[in-house]
């Protein structure tokens, strides 16, 4: 009996995938785009493990580990994530796509925007930087992809669309974050801090929250727009130094005032 055409095509496709690297067979343009984006961007998505100390009934310290995601945004090792991923952490570790783990330090945080920047001292050749897109001009229906570590399952990608724009959500500090992106791409605990990407593989948002009666994805996720992230980055990457700038200028102004006052008193004391 001669095999039918479907069997022959399947066998041929398997052989081509084995012996011809990069061959995509009868994949749709959508599938090809998804595969290409994942291949190009997943090395820039990291798993963040934070150790928080809680206290039991007898006030005994009990370390607890939590996980989240982050995106490499600078070849010097800077990583953007959510503030609630690293909040109160006594220890931070970052696992790269190659499986290597690196200690991380908090650089700067903005609880009101639920954003934070951490840094690792890993070799540049291990760091794959993700490009920023823009959150201007986004439309309901635009394709999006989320890459992160839901439930600790590293390097997971989900796809969906922008479900709505201009939403408002509450941050962990009880402030309101405006103009948030709503998506139906599956986002679960552990995805927080990971990138929301467009069809060019650019970051258009940082996944931050979900609405769910079960604690898992029901198709309503939210991401902080990347334009808000870019606006906050200068202060986040300079950390406490940037936060102290107002005090610096206040001190400088006070010093100038005291010098001028002293000079004025000296002039009044000079005999005519």
Which residues participate in catalysis according to the annotation? 84, 114, 192
Q: Identify which of 169, 128, 162 has the alpha carbon closest to the alpha carbon of residue 145.
A: 162
Query: Residue 91 pairs with which residues in a beta bridge?
Result: 51
Q: Read off the DSSP letter of residue 140.
A: T
CA distance 92 to 129: 20
Q: Read off the DSSP letter of residue 132.
A: B
Furthest C-alpha separation in the chain: 123
Burial 147-161 (b: 16+ CB within 10 A, else e): bbbbeeebbbbbbbe
Query: Residue 161 pairs with which residues in a beta bridge?
Result: 143
């Amino acid at each position: 009996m001669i095999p039918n055409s479907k069997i022959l095509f399947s066998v041929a496709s398997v052989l081509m995938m084995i012996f011809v690297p990069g061959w995509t067979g009868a994949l749709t343009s959508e599938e090809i785009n998804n595969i290409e984006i994942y291949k190009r961007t997943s090395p820039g998505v990291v798993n963040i493990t934070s150790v928080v100390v809680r206290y039991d009934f007898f006030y005994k310290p009990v370390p607890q580990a939590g996980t989240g995601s982050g995106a490499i945004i600078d070849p010097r090792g800077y990583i953007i994530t959510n503030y609630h991923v690293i909040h109160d952490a006594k220890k931070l570790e970052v696992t790269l796509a190659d499986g290597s783990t690196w200690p991380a330090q908090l650089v700067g945080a903005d609880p009101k925007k639920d954003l934070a920047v951490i840094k690792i001292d890993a070799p540049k050749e291990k760091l794959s930087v993700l490009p920023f897109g823009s959150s201007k001009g986004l439309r309901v229906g635009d394709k999006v992809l989320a890459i992160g570590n839901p439930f600790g399952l590293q390097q997971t990608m989900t796809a969906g669309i922008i479900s709505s724009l201009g939403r408002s959500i509450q941050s962990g500090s009880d402030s309101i974050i405006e103009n948030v992106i709503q998506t139906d791409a599956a986002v679960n605990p552990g995805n927080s801090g990971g990138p929301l990407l467009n069809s060019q593989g650019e970051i258009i948002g940082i996944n931050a929250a979900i609405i769910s009666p079960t604690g898992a994805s029901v198709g309503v996720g939210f991401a902080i727009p990347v334009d808000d992230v870019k606006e906050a980055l200068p202060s986040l990457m300079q950390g406490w130094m940037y936060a102290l700038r107002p005090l610096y200028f206040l001190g400088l102004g006070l010093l100038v005032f005291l010098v001028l006052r002293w000079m004025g008193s000296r002039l009044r004391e000079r005999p005519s």
